[in-house]
Amino acid sequence: MYRTHNNGELRLKDVNEEVTLSGWVQKIRDKGFMVWVDLRDRYGITQLIFDEERTDKKTLELAKTLGREFVIQVTGKVIERQSKNTAIPTGEIEILVDKLTVLNESQTPPFTIEDNTDGGEDIRMKYRYLDIRRNPVRENLIFRHKVSMEVRNYLSKEGFIDVETPYLIKSTPEGARDFVVPSRMNQGQFYALPQSPQTFKQLLMVGGMDKYFQIVKCFRDEDLRADRQPEFTQIDCEMAFVEQEDILNTFEGLTRHLLKEINGVEVAKFPRMTYDYAMKTYGNDKPDIRFDMKFGELNDVAKHKDFKVFNEAELVVGIAVPQGNKFSRKEIDKLIKWMQRPQIGAKGMVYVRVNEDGTYKSSVDKFYDQEDLAKWAEKTNAKPGDLICVLSGNANETRTQLSALRMELAERLGLRNPKEFAPLWVVDFPLLEWDEETKRYHAMHHPFTSPKPEDMNLLQSNPGKVRANAYDMVLNGNEIGGGSIRIHDRKTQEMMFDLLGFTKEEAEAQFGFLMNAFQYGAPPHGGLAFGLDRLVSILGGQETIRDFIAFPKNNSGRDVMIDAPAPIDEEQLKELCLKTDC
Amino acid sequence: MYRTHNNGELRLKDVNEEVTLSGWVQKIRDKGFMVWVDLRDRYGITQLIFDEERTDKKTLELAKTLGREFVIQVTGKVIERQSKNTAIPTGEIEILVDKLTVLNESQTPPFTIEDNTDGGEDIRMKYRYLDIRRNPVRENLIFRHKVSMEVRNYLSKEGFIDVETPYLIKSTPEGARDFVVPSRMNQGQFYALPQSPQTFKQLLMVGGMDKYFQIVKCFRDEDLRADRQPEFTQIDCEMAFVEQEDILNTFEGLTRHLLKEINGVEVAKFPRMTYDYAMKTYGNDKPDIRFDMKFGELNDVAKHKDFKVFNEAELVVGIAVPQGNKFSRKEIDKLIKWMQRPQIGAKGMVYVRVNEDGTYKSSVDKFYDQEDLAKWAEKTNAKPGDLICVLSGNANETRTQLSALRMELAERLGLRNPKEFAPLWVVDFPLLEWDEETKRYHAMHHPFTSPKPEDMNLLQSNPGKVRANAYDMVLNGNEIGGGSIRIHDRKTQEMMFDLLGFTKEEAEAQFGFLMNAFQYGAPPHGGLAFGLDRLVSILGGQETIRDFIAFPKNNSGRDVMIDAPAPIDEEQLKELCLKTDC
């Protein structure tokens, strides 16, 4: 037996007990006549002591040869420490070592195994197994485990059944790009890895499973933006005989449960806002509502003067930055430059200082008087001491730019407190979005989303105006989940594929099995999927999903630790009837 | 809201309550003036009643138009049934329907949605979503869910952390054939889907995760034998600072817990037997010990007469079939023919009837007398009324043949009771097996399995004799789990790759990351993986894993429901730099 206890559990009450411990050498202090070793494992650190008087010479000498990250086993007696360390739970005791065995040596690790390491991202990824030894990384993974377990147990108690759906499925050109898997037994044919188990969970509803969930890997072969992974994990759920309201309540319940159990935070009923409202008020469909800075539209009160920029703009819109008047001219100029970078692309920014005495000083005083500016302040809800930032131009672009500014300022002003949680629902998403490039409609959510019954009449005449029974759950400015009520009859589904530009033959070839299923008594159904990586990172008070994935891939989709992907044998290619052809 | 209750929960105490139910039409009885409908959902069946006196005409007429598997919603009053049905929990009440809405119609399903369906395997797989509506299939999937949940909660309570390992990894020619995934971002390179998370779980141990588990899909591109799936699910586990004994105890605990919680069966401490003993006594390494029929080796008592067949055989071995003397001559001849089929390949079979009076009558009475046969009876533990079946020839082949006979007879004699559970451990597997075809050693378990320390000295001189710290858990004649203590130092791992015929360069290219990891303080570790599909099916009292998989593939690796695999667009191939070349 390698150990009687782990390194986190011994206390004063265990004094005089004979114990065996195993673990890694975290730290060695060698005073010559005395050696202390901090022994580490997943559960904590226990101090070992070797000394001239009480330890036999050979053991003391061996202790002096230990290096960082050596794996050792010791047997000894628990004794009370002379100088106690109140910072760790085992800090009142130490082990007077009798017997020391080196189980495995270690080369000097390429970075320090400490909470704050000297290792950069690249080297940490290459030696991820060493990175995982560090407390923050390990704790993140354990945190993820806790979240998954809570999710599973909550949903299981609510009657959801965990059903495993297949990973080797069929490629469909709709949506993102699939990863494909050549079939050797069916030569010239390919499986695809699922982007989500969407059609399968719908078929489970047709199959009467009633409530389904799965924590499942999904795959998308996309050019990777920062913090996207080619494989990611979804909490995938579906329910039959439900309306949107049932689904919102169920998953609001789950999220509230997680916030309470995992974070100890009680949240009130989630606010709901329409997609239109979110876009107009926050400039995006996943607003961070931990702070205010709502958009004030200024067209009515800014287009009556000689200021051409505003007069020619589709939209003039501003936000009041709390206590922003303390920004220096230089800081504001820098902010404007930041807004003008190509990533954001604002042409310029008008600002209004709201003085403590209620007067205004703006960058457009030439055009606007105090009375005008007072109206701007009213529309943006600005208070004395604030700074009003105003953008103008094409409505959509301007909103996106102002949203970026709002988030950046909130970050700088410390308004994005990771310990505060502000969930909400965004509802009434458009069913379709027009793609200028391909000159056709795309499904905003996916082709299985049902139009709102009251908008069905617009489906042929004005498809862009049709709203969907689709909803997103937003937490702290991130979309953590989204779903919809699905189409469950063949006719509507056919109409949808038609709108999306599928020929009848294409629709049949790709989704015939689903449309057939709808002819055999498909119940009304709907569902939702959470992005687990994102959810866990936000609950964990961080925004980088990579920190919550054991073995993430880099931005080129590579696992630099195992060096994958990699070339394969000619023999393997031959068996698959494939040739590389670049 | 589609329903106030499900179809399994209303009872006498609910009489007079106004309820809304939704579900599928299971059955309609139309008496003209009265219509009964059995309404079905996942939770049960509730009887609806429509009649001339109490139901309005339009609703009654609509009820008469319902067909099997229509999806309907009804509102009505719970009333007490006149003729109660004690076979179902809702059998004391029925719903007097006020309002009937057809939510979706159904074509006549291609097979009956009944416990015993008229649908064959192929049509059931094509319409799997309808098959899942059948109680036995749905109950199997719910059973699987329960087992998974028990496994997760048990392991989590024992301190195991569920860590998700990557699905897009690197292909290694060792072991079974990989499914590969071409990379678009790294052209000409491929990921592989994991055959198991083996190296990753070992790296988690190097990373100090201490105890890991995951219920995870694994992939093998093998020619499919019956009841094998290209994608299958493992309960994958690993522990650090453990010896074999720790692992056996931990997972014996898990299995005992499952048998108790899921099956209500308490089992004693699992017997353990060595691989050698199992091969000699049962002719295979996963013996079904619910019944006896242990092998009796007869070389000593069968090679002293003039019977050339036995005298020339490496091994003469028999089993006593309980009450087998009741088999007729014709039945025995059929059995011999069954043994001579190419799948088994026995040349012939000698048999001895043990009469009730203790005398013997054998097919080789020409050569052996009563005294000889008494010795055979003793060796095979035969009792009056039994039949001794004796095979001979090459030792390995003969054992395999006799094992097949043992299992077949047990099946015929009803000795394989699916409600009885007889788990055991098989230990001390050989480290290597010699492959005649390639003239080299293969790892019996996998290349990361550690040799027994006491056999290390044989590693160079007599590798075939080296035993491994490897173990299988066997349940009712099926290997349900297997694992090993791993190698955790670079030197032994290098030696192993060398024995397996890897060049230094090959070993480095494929497993360099793991051997490197071993140089940075790898702890002793080991683990085990259960085949979840198999485990669930055995706990469920069945032997076909397909019945416990929601969407299984057929023997050609096809999903006949969605029709995958399938050809993909030329465009997709081009992006991947691939050409089909058959």
- Which one of B208, B230, B556 has the shortest CB-CB distance to A42? B208
Whether B324 has a pLDDT exceeding 90, the answer reads yes
Contact: B166, A559; criterion CB under 8 Å: yes
Most confident by average pLDDT, B198-207, B433-442, B537-546, B564-573? B198-207
One-character DSSP codes across B23-82: EEEEEEEE-SSEEEEEEEETTEEEEEEEETTTS-HHHHHHHHT--TT-EEEEEEEEEE-S
| 3-class DSSP state of B209 | coil
Measured between its terminal Cα atoms, the distance across chain B in Å is: 56
Under the banding of pLDDT at 50, 70 and 90, the label for residue B435 is: confident
Contacts with A166 from chain B: Cβ below 8 Å: 231, 551, 553, 559
pLDDT tens by residue, A191-211: 999 999 999 999 999 999 999
pLDDT score, position A173: 73
Residue A2 is nearest to which of B189, B241, B578, comparing CB atoms? B241
Q: Kindly determine whether residue B230 and residue A133, on different chains, have CB atoms separated by under 8 Å.
A: no
Which residues 301-360 on chain A approach chain B with CB closer than 8 angstroms? none
| A276-301: average pLDDT | 97
pLDDT over 80 (residue A179): yes
Residue found by looking up tokens 């495995």 in the block: A104
Residue range B411-421, pLDDT digits in tens:
999 999 999 99
Q: Is A170 in contact with B563 (CB distance < 8 Å)? A: yes
Q: What is the pLDDT confidence band of residue A435, given thresholds at 50, 70 and 90?
A: confident
pLDDT at B438 over 90: no
- Across residues B205-211, what is the average pLDDT? 98
Residue matched to tokens 């037996």: A1
The shortest CB-CB distance from A104 to any of B156, B165, B488 is to B488
Interface test with A, best of B39, B225, B568 (most A CBs within 10 A): B568
Query: 3-state DSSP call for residue B436?
Result: coil
Q: What are phi and psi of A162, to 5 degrees?
A: -80, 110
Chain B contact for A453 (CB, 8 A cutoff): no
Supply the pLDDT for residue B427. Answer: 98
- What's the pTM? 0.96
Q: Over the stretch B120-170, which tens digit does the pLDDT of each residue have? A: 999 999 999 999 999 999 999 999 999 999 999 999 999 999 999 999 999
Reported as a single tens digit per residue, the pLDDT across A384-416 is 999 999 999 999 999 999 999 999 999 999 999
Residue contact B190–A566, C-beta within 8 A: yes
Residue B361: strand pairing partners: B353
The rounded mean pLDDT for chain A is 96
Q: Label residue A225 by pLDDT band (50, 70, 90).
A: confident
User: Given this model, what pLDDT does residue A419 score?
Assistant: 93
* CB pair distance less than 8 Å for B164 and A107: no
Minimum Cα–Cα distance from B187: chain A residue: A582
Which structure tokens are listed for A365? 């005083």
Q: Which residues of A touch B189 (CB under 8 A)?
A: 565-567
Please report residues of B whose CB lies closer than 8 A to that of A101.
none
Interface touch A513/B563, C-beta < 8 Å: yes
Cα angle B3, B7, B9; round to 5: 100
- A128 interface with B at CB cutoff 8 Å: yes
Model confidence at A370, in pLDDT bands (50, 70, 90)?
Answer: very high
Q: Do A520 and B69 touch (CB under 8 A)?
A: yes
pLDDT computed for residue B228 by the predictor: 86
* B500 against A438, higher pLDDT: B500
How many cross-chain Cβ pairs, A to B, lie less than 8 Å apart? 370
DSSP B115-180: SS-S--HHHHHHTHHHHTTSHHHHHHHHHHHHHHHHHHHHHHHTT-EE-PPPSSB---SSSSPPPE
In this prediction, residue A439 carries a pLDDT of 87
List, as ranges, residues 82-111 from A with C-beta within 8 Å of B: 103-107, 109
Q: Looking at beta carbons, which residues of chain A come within 8 Å of B438?
A: none
**Arithmetic mean of pLDDT, A147-153:** 98
Q: Environment class of residue B448 by beta-carbon count within 10 Å: exposed (0-12), middle (13-18) or buried (19+)?
A: buried
Nearest by CB to residue A3, choosing from B105, B241, B558, is B241
pLDDT tens-digit map of B221-250: 988 777 789 999 999 999 999 999 999 999
Measure the CA–CA gap between B460 and B362, rounded to whole angstroms: 48
Cross-chain residue pair B70–A127, CB shorter than 8 Å: no
Q: Which of B152, B241, B565 sits opposite A22 (nearest CB)?
A: B241
- What is the per-residue pLDDT across B56-66, written as a single tens digit (0 to 9) for each? 999 999 999 99
Beta-sheet pairing, A71-80 with A350-354: unpaired
Tokens of A520: 């055999």
Nearest-CA distance B8 → chain A (Å) = 13
* Residue A175 scores a pLDDT above 80: no
- Please list every residue in chain B whose beta carbon sits closer than 8 Å to the beta carbon of residue A568: 171, 180, 190, 192
Helical packing angle, B532-539 and B135-157, nearest 10°: 110
Q: Which residues of B touch A553 (CB under 8 A)?
A: 166, 168
What mean pLDDT, rounded, does chain B reach? 96
Helix (H) or strand (E) holding A513: helix A504-517
134-193 in chain B: CB under 8 A from chain A: 138, 141-142, 144-145, 148-149, 152-153, 156, 161-171, 173, 177-193
Residue A428 near residue A274, CB atoms below 8 Å? yes
Is residue B97's pLDDT more than 90?
yes
CA distance B571 to B582: 19
pLDDT confidence band for A339 (50 / 70 / 90): very high
| Minimum-distance CB partner of B562 among A169, A207, A521 | A169
pLDDT of residue A360: 97
B467 has a pLDDT exceeding 90? yes
- Record the tokens describing residue B492, joined without a space: 């032994």
Domains of chain B: 12-104 (2.40.50.140), 139-272+423-548 (3.30.930.10), 291-412 (3.30.1360.30)
Residues in A 487-546 with any Cβ partner in B closer than 8 A: 488-489, 513, 517-524
pLDDT bin (cut points 50, 70, 90) of residue B280 is very high
Query: What would the mean pLDDT of A458-481 be, rounded to a whole number?
Result: 95
Residue among A40, A203, A231 whose CB faces B166 most closely: A231
Smallest CA–CA distance, residue B69 to chain A, in Å, is 6
pLDDT band at A172 (very low <50, low <70, confident <90, very high): confident
- The residues in B 367-396 lying below 8 A from A, measured between CB atoms, are none
Which pLDDT tens digit goes with each residue over A298-336?
Answer: 999 999 999 999 999 999 999 999 999 999 999 999 999
Nearest to A148 by CA among B426, B567, B161: B161
First to last CA, chain A: 56
Residue B162: list chain A partners with CB under 8 A. Answer: 145, 148-149
Whether A228 and chain B come into contact, CB under 8 Å, resolves to no
